[in-house]
Structures are given as structure tokens and as C-alpha cells.
Amino acid sequence: MSLELTEIVKDFIATKLLSKVELDFLESELWETLEHIDEITSLTSAPIDISKELKLKDGSSWQLCCAVILDAARPQKNSRAKKLKKLIEKFSLH
């Protein structure tokens, strides 16, 4: 897990704001995860307070936190969080 990604997520929790550069970084990190999900063997869980703040279940991954933030900051027709949740289930990365 990228230290920068975790810090950006924590910054968002604290301020509810991210710069274009930070959002672009989260987009690229999430894209990498989605592109290589079949090669990933496990995901690192975010702390409970972070998951709770983003209305996610305890034990949710940093990547899922990233997807929720991007859905909030840059909404798309298809939710990134829902897509990632389905892939996490499909590849049993709980």
C-alpha cells in the first residue's frame, strides 16, 4: 500500500477536500488495482475510524476507501466502489 495513498485518504477524512493532483493520483492508484486485481493476493485494511467515516464495513481496504472518495469527488455513472466490491468478492480478497 502506497504511503501517499493512505495520507491522501486521511487528508480527505480530515478536510473533505483534495486537489486535482491528489484526485488524479487516487484515480491512477485505483486503475492499477483494477487492472491487476487478478494478481493481487491480499488487500490492506484501513483503520476502523477511516472505514467508519466513509460508511464502509470494518476491515475495508484502503483501495475501497479510495474508490468511495473518488465516487464522492468525481461521480461517474457506474460506481467505482461497487465495481471494486464485486471484484473483491470474485477474487476472494476479503
Q: Which residue, 51, 54, 83, is CA-closest to 69?
A: 54
Confidence of residue 3 (pLDDT cuts 50, 70, 90): confident
Q: Which domain does 15 fall in, by range?
A: 3-90
pLDDT of residue 80: 98
Q: Taking each helix axis as running N to C, give the angle between helix 62-73 and helix 3-15, from 0 to 180 degrees, rounded to the nearest 10.
A: 50
How many domains does one find in the chain?
1
- pLDDT attached to residue 87: 97
Residue 38 CA to residue 50 CA, distance in Å, equals 26
Query: What global pTM score does this model have?
Result: 0.94
pLDDT greater than 80 at residue 27: yes
Over residues 64-86, mean pLDDT: 97
Contact 32, 87 (CB under 8 A): no
Of residues 30, 41, 23, 37, the one with CA closest to residue 2: 30
Mean pLDDT to the nearest integer, 45-69 = 97
Residue 26 CA to residue 8 CA, distance in Å, equals 8
